[in-house]
Amino acid sequence: MFRNHRTRQNLASNPFSTKFIQPGAIPFEFVDTTDAFQLAKRFLESPYGRMCVVGPHGSGKSSLVAILKPILQHNSPQRSLLHFRLTAGVPSSRPSLRQLFSLPSHAIILLDGYEQLPILSRCVLHCKNRFSGVALLVTSHKKLWGFKNLWQTTINDRVERYVLEQLLLDYPPDFVELALSSEEWKQSRSRRGANLRETLFDMYDWWEIQGP
């Protein structure tokens, strides 16, 4: 799940604006006793050095990686850390083969959108992992061969309510109920399935009409 970090100076803005909803804008929060420090420790101590955050589109994978990044940097200051965020249909978002071949030994690579990576690039990363000690933490929509699962993100009613509560933290509580009971929300959730982020984008126009 997620926690909002919006401040009151942004109250004039639509809380469903891209800047509040885009991946990484809403930090991840756990609902059980697990925390990001435990996951970071588990990743750094993994003998395989290849781990994956798995889940559907818009379920918080990028947000989780975003909060793990500074923890990993703090706990391994001697290791280079590179963060790649790949976008479907945007080849320029992919690291080049030259970049991958030149990765320093024992670097930590965060790769958000592993499925967008060409096969050859994947092979280079696996070789770097095996022979140069490069650690790989990637996101994917399904379990990956050769990777251990670090975490699986899911979307349910509890997560939906929590996210809305965080986005609307500085507004009266009844706005959360209004959003959840609106036809716009119901229709979008039916259409978007597990992709909660797209539903939040869909609610932009609803807020323009219903917001204070």
Domain boundaries, the chain: 36-89+98-152, 155-210
Given a cut of 50, whether residue 1 has pLDDT beyond it is: no
Given a cut of 80, whether residue 10 has pLDDT beyond it is: no
For 206, the token pair is 């609803």
Q: State the SS3 of 131-181.
A: HHCCEEEEEECCCCCCCEEEEECCCCHHHHHHHHHHHCCCCCCHHHHHHHH
Given a cut of 70, whether residue 199 has pLDDT beyond it is: yes
Among 115, 138, 162, residue whose Cα is nearest residue 50? 138
The predicted model gives 6-10 an average pLDDT of 47
CB 27 within 8 A of CB 64: no
Which of residues 12 and 164 earns the better pLDDT score? 164
pLDDT at 91: 82
Given a cut of 90, whether residue 117 has pLDDT beyond it is: yes
The predicted model gives 44-72 an average pLDDT of 92
- Mean pLDDT, the chain, integer: 89
Worst-scoring range by mean pLDDT, 58-67, 119-128, 144-153? 58-67
Residue 3's pLDDT band (cuts 50, 70, 90): very low
Given a cut of 50, whether residue 38 has pLDDT beyond it is: yes
Superfamily the domain 36-89+98-152 falls into: P-loop containing nucleotide triphosphate hydrolases (3.40.50.300)
Given a cut of 60, whether residue 104 has pLDDT beyond it is: yes
pLDDT at 24: 66
User: What does the angle CA 196 – CA 22 – CA 172 come to, to the nearest 5 degrees?
Assistant: 70
Handedness of CA 115, 118, 119, 120 (dihedral sign): negative
The predicted model gives 139-160 an average pLDDT of 92
Q: What does the alpha-carbon distance between residue 110 and residue 102 come to, in Å, rounded to a whole number?
A: 16
